[in-house]
Amino acid sequence: MAGLSIWHVLIFAIVVILLFGTSKLKNLGKDVGGAIKDFKKSVQDDESTHQANQPKTLDSQDQQNTDTSNKH
């Protein structure tokens, strides 16, 4: 069989814990989580900046006006 069984995963996890220790793995998890959070924040900031920098045209203003009038 080419797939991994639960025993393979458990043995791998035990070896990783023995090699690196739980404190290094905990710090690695914190670092990766912080990097993901920063990446998401920068993507959201970039999208809002990109939308703010788009030029306003009469067509887009008319569309925004119809969108807001449909919400009420």
What pLDDT is recorded for position 4? 80
Instruction: Report the range of poorest mean pLDDT among 3-12, 18-27, 46-55.
Output: 46-55
Say if CB 28 and CB 21 are below 8 A apart: no
% of the chain residues with pLDDT over 90 = 36
For residues 70 and 66, give the distance between their C-alpha atoms in angstroms, rounded to a whole number.
Answer: 6
First to last CA, the chain: 61
Q: Whole-model pTM above 0.85? A: no
Q: Which of 17, 35, 39, 36 is nearest to 26 (CA)?
A: 17
Longest dimension (CA), the chain: 65
